[in-house]
Structures are given as structure tokens and as C-alpha cells.
Amino acid sequence: MDKLIKNTGINKLIALIVTFVIVQVLISTNIINDYIFSTLVTICINIILAASLNLITGFTGQFSLGHAGFMSIGAYTCAIITLRYSTVWGFVGGLVAGAVFAAMVGFLVGLPTLRLKGDYLAIATLGMAEIIKILFRNVLDDLTNGAAGLRGIPQFINWAWLFLFTAGSVLLISNFINSSHGRACISIREDEIASEAMGVNSTKYKVTAFVTGAFFAGIAGAIYASYFYYLKPDYFAFKKSIDILVIVVLGGMGSISGSVIAAILLALISTYLQAFPELNMVINGALFVIIMIFRPQGIMGSKELSLSLIKKWTGQFGRKNGGAA
Amino acid sequence: MEQFLQQVINGISLGSIYALIALGYTMVYGIIKLINFAHGDVYMIGAYVGYFCMTSFKLGFFPSLLISMLVCAILGVTIEKIAYKPLRNATRIAVLITAIGVSLFIEYGTMFFVKPDPRSYPPLTGLMTRSFRIGNIVFSAQQILIISITVVLMVLLQFIVKKTRIGKAMRAVSLDRDAAQLMGISVDKTISFTFLIGSALAGAAGILVGIYYNSINPLMGMMPGLKAFVAAVFGGIGIIPGAMIGGYFIGLVEVMVAGYGNSMFRDAVVFAILIIILIVKPSGLLGKETREKV
């Protein structure tokens, strides 16, 4: 736990506080109205989802197509608990319960399926997410109200909670990646057999990454339930998992800051194209193909956005300009 | 017993459709090791081409079948040339993501043009509306049509793969691509041909699904596509007879679950089969275990 906090660094802390205060001021002066705030919530949820999927797919190299399944577990758990206990503590308890429950399911699913590799794993996780969806729709329907969905979930998400959970999730995930556990995960992505030969327990780390990813997907789902106060099983279909994957691939598999940038970028595009949802998906599809052909590493590759990287870019830019003059 | 036999007939006709789609998955996987997610959407396009042939152009069933097979074949080859060929040497995950991209592009592109609402398929006419009885078991002409078209296409496929020059090339490329190239086989042409055949089968399946369910929509490719994929994995992906067995098995299971259990659970059961197969014997029913070389 010490390491998780120590790595943060004072610069990041200042940047986070400044972001928080600026947005808070904008909200209280009503420059960020309800409409913009709902886009902001979507962006934050997508950031958590993409960062957690990136841990599984980008860093550990385990291709998962079932992330929406974990999100739905978090969402439904939190919704059902806050509908019973409609207080802030009910919400926090529901969120934690949702995340823990998603992590537990992640463990149960991950332990057998992570023996599979590449595309087989992708298909198995896809099947898992479909089964979870059908469970919520047809089996647990006295709890979840079946296909009609749950309505009137009390809304507790405000900017403070949203910021706390988003920044917290991203920081914890990136600190996990920078720890020795994270390096073990990355070594599995690079070459599983070689890393096993070096003494890395690959099953343990694959399951750890999977469970951690599921935990944060559960948090994202709980935030979704608590802000949009309406849940239905079909929202968490295959397409949702794909949406999350688009963000990870566009941002760069193996770059948390890439996921953040891509989540913001895609939310802006989809807000802009809100009147044409089909066109939005067509663009997403075309983006996949174009990125894979021309820039398979995504926007950031496996680099992280940092001050030194920005300096390097601006330095190159300056030199180019200097050369021209 | 009679009810059971009736369910078997229903299961076989649904299963033949899955088998047709599964063949496309399995052939493409066998030759370039790619789960072609766009395959389900190619068959959706086949259903729409058939629909427009039969309604707008007032063509009969068989001309429509041929046209939609042709259009799908062209579409399949185009997809391969544009999206997959530049990635011949990329990682498998990269190609898989591209396939998902192509799938989204086709689904929502179609939705943009034909609108998302489901359309009801034109009913068959004449002889094909009749049904036959043996004892208390009813065969509709529609089911006989579906089963016989599937069998004809499968025999044709077996003939192409086993007896022709290009079929030999396909088997050679799927066994060892580099060695095939050294023997003077044009690998690119062979891969294109595989996509052509697989997509033509999907086109036929599209029309048959339209007849079977009476309703088509732009997202119809997703679920049967995934189930056909489960069928291909069940039989052993990359193995042509495996895909046929898998298709019939999944069709039968689905009809039995809907008939004797709860129709809500048929999708869940299919995916549960997938996960069990992947865990117990990932190489599938007819597949051979392969060891990974270091």
C-alpha cells in the first residue's frame, strides 16, 4: 500500500487539485451546465473502464471482450443496494459491494478461462459477458426487473465523488503497473514462456490483472447506475465491450494516459454526432481498421504523457522551426 | 417421441444454417488464423440482397439466392483486400481488432442506409408453401428447401476442397503458408479464394435465415454469427467437417432447449457450451492437440 501512494509525486497531486478546483468553479458559476456535466460523467466512466481494460489487454496482453459484463455487475449491485438504502452511505456501500462482487466474478471467470490464449480467450470472455447479461435479464429478474430495467435509482454522483473515483482509479491502476506486480504483468505480455522461465507465476499475475480490471469496471458501472438512474441489461451488450476496446486501442495498448486522451476525444466526437448514432458507430468501425493499418500502436503507443515527453515534443517542434528559419 | 422427432427436424434445419455460416468461419480461420468477426455481417448483407431481389426486382427464389451469393462473394474478397491484406504480418490481436472494426462498419453502415427497423421477408410461393406429413411429423417445404440447399452446397464445397487444384492449394496454405509459397502457390490468390467461397456460403445462409425467421434487421448478423462461431469451435476450428457437425449440434441444442426448457435460455446455453468446450478441449471435437513450441 505504501508504494501505491508514494509513487504519486507532487506534480501530479498539484495538477489533480487544480483540475478539480477549476471544474468545481465552472460548475458553481453554471458554465458547466447539466448537459455538459452528463458528458463529463460519461467521459469519467469511460476513462475508468478504458484504464481497467488497458490493464488486462494492454499491459498483461490478455485479450478480453467481456468488460461490459463486469461493469453491469457493479451497476446492478450498486443500484439494488441504493434502492434499498437511499443514503450516501448506501451509495458508497453499494459502490464498494459492486466493485468487490465484480472482482469476485472476475476471479471465478478468470481462473479457468485465462488458460486460453489470444482469440480463444477473447471469445470465452465474450460468451461470459453474454451469459451475465442473460442472467440479469431472465434469471434474476425479481431483483433486476428483467428486460424492462431498473428505474428511479437515487442519484448521488456529484463532481466531488466523480473526481475522487476517477482520479483514484487511474492512480491506483497506474501505480499497480509501475510496481513489481505490474512489471510481471508486462513481462507476460512480452513473452509468457520466457517470463515463466524467469520465475514469474504467470497464472497468478494474469488472474490478478483480470480481477483488478474487473474491480474497477465494477466501480465504473456503479457510477453509471448512480448518475443515469436507469439500467437495462441490453445496455451492457457486446457493443459496450467493443466501445471500451475502441478507447483502449485508439489511446494505445499499454498507455494509461493514452486511454484518458482517447476517452475524452471519442466522447467529444460522439457528442458532436449525437443526432446520427449510426454514423458514430460507422466512424468507430472505420477508426479500428485505419488505426490498425496505419498506426497499430494507437495515439500514445506504450508511452505515458509526462512533462519530459512534452518537453521532447516541443523541443523537436522548436528545432524544426529553427531549421526552417 | 413424435414431438421429439419434430424438434429434431426443426433443429436440423436451423443447424444447417449455422453450419453454412460456420464453414466460412472455419475456412478463414484455417487459412489465416483469424476469427473473421465480419463474417456474420456478410451474411446479413446476403439476407438484404435477397430481400431486395425478391421485393424490388420481383425475382424468384433461386435467382435471388445466386445473386446474393455473388454479391457476398465480392464483398468478402473486397473486405479481405482492403482490411486484412495490409495486416498479413501484423499480430493476431491487431487483425482481430480490424475484423471487429469491419463488422461495426458494415452493421451500422447498413443501418444508416436501410434504417434499423426489422423488415418481414417475402413469403415463398407455389410449391414451396406446402407441407408434408409422415405420421404426425410435419415437414414444411421450407425446411426441406433449407436442408437440401445446405447439403448441395456442402457437397460442392467438399468437391472443391478435395478434388480441384485450387482446393489443393487451400489445403496446402492452411497446412504451412511458407512452404506452400515456396512450392509456387500464390498465397494471396488462395486466401482471396477462401474468402470468396466462405462469403458465398454466408450469402446463401442469409437468404435461408430470412426464410426461416421471416424477419431481417441490420444487427441480425451478430447473434447467429457468434453462434456459428461457437459451432466452428465445437467441431474444431479450421476443420471443415467439424464445422458441419458443430452447426447441426448447436442447432439441435438450441431447439431442444427452447422446446423442453425455457426459450429465454437458449443463447446462454450455447455460450455455456462454448466456455466448457474451450476449457475442456480447446481444439474441438475433431481437433488435434498441438503443443506450443518455444
- Summarize pLDDT for A241-254 with one digit per residue, the tens: 988 998 998 898 88
Contact call for residues B70 and B78 (beta carbons, < 8 A): no
B86 touches chain A (CB under 8 A): yes
Q: Is the ipTM of this complex over 0.90?
A: no
Mean pLDDT in residue range A102-124: 86
Please check the confidence at residue A325 and state whether its pLDDT lies above 50: no
Q: Which domain holds residue A233?
A: 2-324
Instruction: Calculate how close chain B gets to A150, using CA atoms only, in Å.
Output: 19
Amino acid at A80: I
Instruction: Calculate how close chain B gets to A171, using CA atoms only, in Å.
Output: 27
- Among A16-30, A84-98, A248-262, B274-288, the range scoring the smallest mean pLDDT is B274-288
Please check the confidence at residue A259 and state whether its pLDDT lies above 90: yes
Confidence of residue B220 (pLDDT cuts 50, 70, 90): confident
Q: What tens digit of pLDDT does each residue of B116-153 get?
A: 888 888 877 766 677 777 777 788 888 888 899 999 99
- Among A34-38, A50-54, A94-98, B189-193, the range scoring the smallest mean pLDDT is A34-38
**For domain B2-115+129-280, which architecture applies?**
Orthogonal Bundle (1.10)
Candidates B97, B274, B294; nearest CB to A123 = B274
Q: What tens digit of pLDDT does each residue of A124-134 get?
A: 898 899 899 98
Please check the confidence at residue A2 and state whether its pLDDT lies above 60: no
- Calculate the alpha carbon distances from B15 to A118, B135, B139, B225, B262 in Å: 28, 23, 15, 13, 19
B64 touches chain A (CB under 8 A): no
**Dist. CA A175–CA A169, nearest whole Å:** 10
- Kindly determine whether residue A113 and residue B278, on different chains, have CB atoms separated by under 8 Å: yes
- Testing the interface with B: which of A289, A290, A294 to mutate, by most B Cβ within 10 A? A289
Candidates B87, B94, B112; nearest CB to A282 = B112
CATH number, position A21: 1.10.3470
Mean pLDDT in residue range B247-276: 87
- Among A65-74, B10-19, B86-95, the range scoring the smallest mean pLDDT is B86-95
- Kindly determine whether residue B230 and residue A127, on different chains, have CB atoms separated by under 8 Å: yes
Candidates B93, B105, B267; nearest CB to A130 = B267
Q: Which string of DSSP letters, residue by residue, matches A206-230?
A: HHHHHHHHHHHHHHHHHHHHHHH-E
Mean pLDDT in residue range A12-25: 86
Spatial CA neighbour of A248 closest among A261, A259, A264, A239:
A259
Candidates B90, B105, B282; nearest CB to A296 = B90
Mean pLDDT of chain A: 86
Q: Which residue of B has its CA nearest to A64?
A: B93
Domain edges within chain B? 2-115+129-280
A293 touches chain B (CB under 8 A): yes
Confidence of residue A1 (pLDDT cuts 50, 70, 90): very low
pLDDT, residue A324, reads 42
Candidates A113, A123, A292; nearest CB to B35 = A123
Total domains present in chain A: 1
B134 touches chain A (CB under 8 A): no
- Kindly determine whether residue B35 and residue A113, on different chains, have CB atoms separated by under 8 Å: no
**Crossing angle (nearest 10°) for helices A34-53 and A159-178:** 20
Convert A68-94 to b/e letters by CB count within 10 Å (16 or more is b): bbbbbbbbbbbbbbbbeeeeeebbbbb
Candidates B87, B96, B274; nearest CB to A127 = B274
A273 touches chain B (CB under 8 A): no
Mean pLDDT in residue range A77-90: 91
Mean pLDDT in residue range B229-256: 89
Candidates B82, B92, B271; nearest CB to A131 = B271
Which residues fall within 8 angstroms of residue A1, CB to CB, at 6 or more apart?
A: none
- Kindly determine whether residue B279 and residue A113, on different chains, have CB atoms separated by under 8 Å: yes
Instruction: Calculate how close chain A gets to B93, using CA atoms only, in Å.
Output: 7
- Kindly determine whether residue B98 and residue A293, on different chains, have CB atoms separated by under 8 Å: yes
HSE-up of residue B218 (Cα within 13 Å, Cβ side): 18
pLDDT higher for A317 or A291?
A291
Please check the confidence at residue B41 and state whether its pLDDT lies above 50: yes
Please check the confidence at residue A309 and state whether its pLDDT lies above 70: yes
Instruction: Calculate how close chain B gets to A295, using CA atoms only, in Å.
Output: 10
A54-A60-A64 Cα angle (round to 5): 60
B210-B211-B216 Cα angle (round to 5): 20
- Among A111-120, B46-55, B216-225, the range scoring the smallest mean pLDDT is A111-120
- Kindly determine whether residue A124 and residue B275, on different chains, have CB atoms separated by under 8 Å: yes
- Calculate the alpha carbon distances from B151 to A46, A196, B15, B59, B201 in Å: 47, 48, 12, 23, 12
A130 touches chain B (CB under 8 A): yes
Q: Give the number of beta-carbon pairs within 8 Å between A and B.
A: 125
pLDDT, residue A82, reads 92
Q: What tens digit of pLDDT does each residue of A166-218 get?
A: 999 999 999 999 999 999 999 999 998 899 999 999 999 999 999 999 999 99
**Dist. CA A212–CA B2, nearest whole Å:** 52
Query: φ, ψ for residue B228 (rounded to 5)?
Result: -65, -35
